[in-house]
Amino acid sequence: MKIVKLKEANLHSFLEEISKEADLWAPVKAAPDRYKFEFIQDLNKIDTDCTRTILPPRKILLPPSINMFQASEKEYKEDFSHVSKKIIFGIHPCDIHGILIMDDFFSHEFYDPYYMESRKNTLLLGHSCWPDENCLCKSTRTHIIKEGYDLFFSKLKERYIVWIGSSKGDDLIRTKANLFEEDISDKDIKEYAEWCDQREKAFQTEINFDALGDLMELMYNDPLWEELGNACLACGSCSNVCPTCNCYNVADRPALEKKYSDIKRCWDACTLESYSEVAGGENFRKKRADRLKLFYTHKFQAYISKYGKPACVGCGRCVATCPVDINVKTVGKSLDGEKVDAFWKRLSKEVTK
């Protein structure tokens, strides 16, 4: 792997150059403590200090609603209007792992041209990050990344170590080769090693993910799920913010005055009641407890048995988002026999009232 160096002061010149050929997306501040990925028209808006964005970068690859087909009485045409050349800058290791999980899922057994066309046209430029109390990626071993990116920017004092992960990444560097230096000094190596060491120590939350697959099976009928189901609001937010959730619904949008009607594809969530409803009104997971079991079986157990890793990359978005504190941290710790979070303290007070 080739490694180069970039002065922090030269970052915007580089991003300006590469954004001439593709739509540039990056994290920007959306509210005092909230960030989102946005199509960048003003480089000064880019904020690389964010810990996590509200929605994961999958929203750029596969937006919440896309048109799959235009259909008339006589024919249908596939619609790939959501696909364009894109560069996503500022993706953290956990989110790159999330995209690798989506790549696996959509490129093999269930080949999905809508995702894959978008993916083939998108370059990933990762950026180093610092954990907060909600980050679980050290437990899922997704806090570091060795593949899946085109470039990865590790921030040091006033400069970046830039890891080149693909030939397309190398091509990007060549568009402004004069900005980059090839000599990595002993001082750079020392500073990088110290940064890695301090970051390892900065993680505040650990969960034993290795045990969760077995515990999920052993505790499938545990009263825990009823307690969680009673508290869950069935809002679907945990699925919407998760970088590895990929369920969707398809709906006809007939246009009586136009030649073609639209066949739309929209994000769906297994935690919503309508998700498991079938023709005739039957619903196989009417209970919220059953839907939560499905979500956590997918995250902790089913994906491991098929792909050898959990379908959770520890991004902490469900921890930061669920309005009633049901998340990978509270559920994972409970399965492991520990009900210590604020959620469980509150729930036990509510139950004993």
- Residue from 90, 148, 314, 332 touching ligand SF4 (CB under 6 A): that is 314
Kindly report the length of the chain: 353
Select from 14-22, 84-92, 115-123, 307-315 the region that touches ligand SF4 (CB under 6 A): 307-315
Q: Give every CB contact of residue 1 below 8 A, 6+ residues apart in sequence.
A: 163, 164, 165
Least distance CB 184 / ligand SF4 (angstroms) = 33
Least distance CB 187 / ligand SF4 (angstroms) = 36
| Nearest residue (CB) to ligand SF4, 17 versus 206 | 206
The CA distance from 11 to 42, in Å, is 13
- Residue from 50, 88, 102, 322 touching ligand SF4 (CB under 6 A): that is 322
Least distance CB 112 / ligand SF4 (angstroms) = 19
317 sits near ligand SF4 (criterion: CB under 6 A): yes
* Binders of ligand SF4 in range 197-256 (CB under 6 A): 232-238, 241-244
Tokens for 16?
Answer: 């300006």
Question: Number of residues in contact with ligand SF4, rule: CB under 6 A?
Answer: 26
* Binders of ligand SF4 in range 122-181 (CB under 6 A): 136
Least distance CB 72 / ligand SF4 (angstroms) = 38
The CA distance from 6 to 14, in Å, is 9
Select from 35-43, 152-160, 183-191, 319-327 the region that touches ligand SF4 (CB under 6 A): 319-327
- Residue from 316, 330, 334, 347 touching ligand SF4 (CB under 6 A): that is 316
The CA distance from 269 to 248, in Å, is 7
299 sits near ligand SF4 (criterion: CB under 6 A): yes
| Nearest residue (CB) to ligand SF4, 159 versus 317 | 317
Residue 19 and residue 87 in contact, taking contact as beta carbons nearer than 8 Å: yes
Q: Which residues contribute to the site for ligand SF4 (CB under 6 A)? A: 136, 232-238, 241-244, 271, 299, 312-318, 322-324, 326, 328
